[in-house]
Amino acid sequence: MDWLTSLAPIIAPVCGALGIVTGAFFSYRQVKRRGDTDERVATLKVRADAEATEGQTYVEAMKTVTAGFSSLLDQQRGMLDQQRDLLVQERTMHAQTVERVNLLETGQLELTREVRQLQEEQRRDRRWKVAALDYIRDLRGLVAKALGRPAPEPPEEIADDVIGSDRP
């Protein structure tokens, strides 16, 4: 074992140097791990911030889309309300038009009835006039035969009818 003791002055500084190198290595490793950890934390923080920003952007986009759809639905509701109001107005106008048409049809039917009644009265008056003229002619003929002279002249209102029909 002498040889081991004789190597002690060499081994002690080598072990010391080895201890220093090992300590420096562990210190380096610890600093490097801390740096790597800090770097990973910074990277994760940046990634988390990016994801949070992206999430916030997504939320804002969804809010914008939702607001747009809500606005569109409100516009469509407004348009539907306007269309419903127009439809009610059109139905009211249609009902008024139908009422007017019915009134006109009723008036037309009444006028048609009156026209038929007047036509019937005209036919009756014409028949009466023809019968009255025949009767007047017969009377004039009887008066002319009975008196032996011409019958008196008829009044102006009927003279053309009576005299015009006496002379064939």
The pTM for the full model equals 0.42
**Tens digits of residue pLDDT in 62-74:** 999 999 999 999 9
Mean pLDDT of 81-92: 95
**Tens digits of residue pLDDT in 117-159:** 999 999 999 999 899 889 988 988 898 898 888 888 888 888 8
Burial letters 47-66, b for 16+ CB under 10 A, else e: eeeeeeeeeeeeeeeeeeee
**C-alpha count within 13 angstroms, C-beta hemisphere, residue 71:** 6
At 68 the pLDDT is: 93
Burial letters 31-44, b for 16+ CB under 10 A, else e: eeeeeeeeeeeeee
At 152 the pLDDT is: 83
- Look over the chain and give the mean of its residue pLDDT values, rounded to a whole number: 89
Neighbours of 102 (CB within 10 A): 10
Confidence band for 165, pLDDT divided at 50, 70 and 90: low
Name the residue type at position 135.
Y
